[in-house]
Amino acid sequence: MGSSSLLLWSLLLFLIAFPRVTLVHAFTGTYGINYGRIADNLPPPGSVVTLLKAAKVKNIRIYDAAHEVLTALKGSGIEIIVGLGNEYLRDISVSEDRAMNWVKENVEPFLPGTRIRGIAVGNEILGSTDQELWEVLLPAVKNVYNALDRLHLTKVVEVSSPHSAAVFASSFPPSAGAFKETILPYMKPLLEFFEQINSPFYINIYPFLAYISDPDHIDVKYATFQSNPGIYDSNTKLHYDNMFEAQIDAAYAALEKAGFEKTEVIVSETGWASRGDANEVGATLKNARTYNYNLRKRLLKKKGTPYRPKVVVRAYVFALFNENLKPGPTSERNFGLFKADGSVSYNIGFTGLKPSSAASSLHSLKGTGLRSWFGSSYSLLYTTCSAAVLLILMA
């Protein structure tokens, strides 16, 4: 084999081993935050971006596609899932043109500067009592996906639809996880479509809600990742020392029973309220800090669950701020990690809008510099190799 041929094969092997293929991953980290805005006292989006960067949060979800938020996020590097609200589903479900108009107005103009990585079509639809919305969810999802496809954005923007725990008929023990029979005629076709387009199953998981509904029988330490005896699932012979992982594995069990054992589960919401009404036992600052501190520590380990040990757990915390205009019990307005002034609600390792220490800034600079160097060097090497292959082929 001549030297030119040897070089050609070497370069081709490099290109095959390190392809520049863009796959859609709406959530590339493990720890994200939901940025809800049902409030009249929150900082402007530009300040929120500063806060997120100071806290080193790289993945967020919003519940709409507010242009001021998307504009503020431009160039930040923060990856975002936008929401298509439940109120739009009926119109979107009956018209691909309406779906296209929504995507062209709320997604396409902001790419690529704003890193929109997903569209959540509706929120907790199949766990609601509105059966008309059950019926229009899948058509709406398909129309949004088809609009992205026509705009060649399906490799950039994922389509999903998060669910509440109300979709389950049972979730304890985890191996008994199963969907309600009433929603299966709607859930299965939705999951089949998501399987085709490689979208995960997003579920809102709240040990907080489970605990306040039955504090006499649920150990608060089990609900907040503290040392406790845990539970044993005799069907799988697996031990659980926290409810969060048990609920995720219940979702995996339900998916398996429905025929979707390969679908990944991602937690779209989880959190703990720092205040509540008199009947909301456990809604305290101490429990909120304990849950969110231990959750963050657990997610940063990048590990799986007892039933899916090789699938890294990913979760978006609810929520970034306390939202003073949310209806419902007091707890609904007190899930925030941060106060409206940008300071932390309690200490779980974030600094908020306060200046970082010199050491932290230096560490961040070093990390960013190394990643930037590697990224630019890789691009240069890749481009050089590609050009060399073309020159050899043309020789």
Which residues are identified as catalytic? 124, 269
Residue 73 three-state SS: coil
- Helix (H) or strand (E) run with residue 34 in it: strand 31-34
Residue 124 three-state SS: coil
Closest CA to 301 of 216, 244, 340, 219: 244
Residue 265's φ and ψ, nearest 5 degrees, are: -100, 130
- Helix (H) or strand (E) run with residue 366 in it: helix 358-394
- Helix (H) or strand (E) run with residue 82 in it: strand 79-84
Distance between CA atoms of 335 and 275, rounded to whole angstroms? 8
* Residue 97: exposure state from Cβ atoms within 10 A (0-12, 13-18, ≥19): exposed
CB 201, CB 252: distance < 8 Å? no
Instruction: Give Cβ neighbours of residue 316 (< 8 Å, ≥ 6 apart).
Output: 27, 32, 33, 34, 59, 60, 61, 267, 268, 269, 270
Which residues, in sequence order, are bridge partners of residue 239? 232
Q: Residue 395 has what DSSP assignment?
A: -
CA distances from 72 to 66, 69, 340 (A): 10, 5, 18
